């Protein structure tokens, strides 16, 4: 670890970004710049000993401010959320291309040494995820391209841009495909929350023996990764020589119905599931191989 380096974390006011800044502080980094579009007082985590900047990184001039003097940039800024948000905000999700393009160019212009890009499992070909018992997805299964509409296409484009910046300019880029990260201080309500948080909220608010809504038939499967493991994995990848996109997740498949049962068990409640087949539920199954956590 190079704790003397200036590290920049974009999307620092969000879930993973906030935990990443916290980990850099724990590791002894003294030159941390945290950037997010939200006012600082609305960040999930904020620290007085960090350079905190509220900047809209859709704008090229703000990306230049964020990248100035940076040794390493961890770009986690994006328009994103849970499946409900992604399904109904395809154009907004794709507009993140402005953030990723401007930040990558600013990093190169300002002599940054390494650039981390946070991608997603939504880049994978949907035709390979129709079975809840899906075969583990390898990184090459993103092609031929048929990613999640909107969000997945933007992520896949940005991955390719990072690869070309290395091939054309020798600029060191690292790419991680996150798989369903959960943990404390994440989005809990409002439409951008992921499945573990949404289900935890519903279970917490329900009385014993009540009924809670579950999107889809609940047989769709996912793997889930705790945020501390996610942060450790992406820091390790940044320190490595691996330049191709890499899956970051666990190797345990969990159905949404089973996830509901697990959370009910933790809460000590017996609840009924009301399956709503009209709500967004994403692909039927998603697992990964070549795991890095």
Summarised one tens digit per residue, pLDDT across range 164-184 is: 999 999 999 999 998 888 999
pLDDT tens-place string over residues 232-246: 999 999 999 999 999
**Is there a catalytic annotation at residue 166?**
no
* The token pair that represents 131 in the structure block: 């079975």
pLDDT at 187 (0 to 100): 76
Residue 73, strand partner residues: 8, 115
Tell whether the model's pLDDT for residue 288 goes beyond 60: no
Of 44, 115, 151, 165, catalytic: 151
- CATH H-level, domain 6-181+224-248: superfamily: NAD(P)-binding Rossmann-like Domain (3.40.50.720)
More confident residue, 219 or 162: 162
Q: What's the pLDDT band for 289 if we cut at 50, 70, 90? A: very low
Q: At 279, is the pLDDT very low, low, confident or very high (cuts 50, 70, 90)?
A: confident
CA–CA separation, 83 and 85 (whole Å): 5
Q: Which of 62, 63, 92, 98 is nearest to 79 (CA)?
A: 92
More confident site: 130 or 154:
154
Q: Residue 225 CA to chain centroid, in angstroms?
A: 11
- For residue 83, what pLDDT band results from cuts at 50, 70 and 90? low
CA distance 258 to 50: 40
Per domain, the residue ranges of the chain are 6-181+224-248
Across residues 111-126, what is the average pLDDT? 92
- How much is the CA Rg of the chain, to the nearest whole Å? 19
User: For 105-123, what is the mean pLDDT?
Assistant: 95
- In tens, the pLDDT along 144-158 reads 999 989 999 999 999
Sign of CA pseudo-dihedral 206, 208, 213, 217: positive
The DSSP call for residue 187 is -
pLDDT at 129: 63
Q: Which residue reads 């948080």 in tokens?
A: 197
pTM of this structure: 0.83
pLDDT tens-digit profile of 28-57? 999 999 999 999 999 999 999 999 999 999
Dihedral sign computed on CA atoms, order 150, 198, 245, 23:
positive
Here the tokens at position 155 are 């992520």
């Amino acid at each position: 670890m190079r704790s003397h380096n200036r590290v920049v974390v974009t999307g620092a006011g969000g879930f993973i970004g906030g935990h990443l800044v916290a980990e850099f502080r724990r590791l002894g980094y003294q030159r941390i710049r945290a950037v997010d579009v939200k006012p600082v007082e609305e960040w999930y985590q904020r620290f007085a000993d960090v350079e905190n900047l509220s900047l809209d990184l859709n704008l090229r001039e703000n990306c230049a401010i964020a990248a100035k003097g940076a040794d390493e940039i961890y770009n986690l800024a994006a328009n994103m959320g849970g499946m409900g948000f992604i399904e109904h905000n395809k154009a907004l999700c794709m507009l993140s291309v402005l953030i990723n393009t401007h930040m990558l160019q600013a990093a190169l212009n300002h002599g940054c040494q390494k650039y981390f890009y946070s991608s997603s499992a939504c880049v994978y070909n949907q035709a390979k995820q129709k079975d809840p018992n899906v075969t583990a997805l390898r990184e090459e299964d993103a092609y031929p391209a048929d990613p999640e509409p909107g969000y997945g296409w933007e992520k896949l484009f940005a991955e390719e841009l990072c690869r070309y910046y290395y091939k054309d300019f020798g600029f060191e880029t690292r790419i991680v495909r996150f798989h369903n990260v959960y943990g404390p201080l994440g989005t809990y309500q409002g439409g951008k929350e992921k499945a573990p948080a949404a289900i935890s909220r519903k279970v917490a608010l329900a009385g014993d023996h009540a009924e809670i809504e579950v999107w889809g038939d609940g047989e769709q499967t996912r793997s889930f990764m705790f945020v501390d493991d996610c942060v450790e994995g992406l820091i390790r990848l940044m320190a490595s020589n691996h330049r191709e996109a890499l899956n970051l997740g666990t190797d345990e498949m969990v159905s949404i119905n089973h996830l509901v049962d697990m959370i009910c068990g933790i809460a000590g409640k017996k609840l009924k599931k009301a399956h709503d087949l009209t709500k967004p539920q994403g692909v039927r199954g998603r697992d990964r191989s070549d795991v890095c956590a």
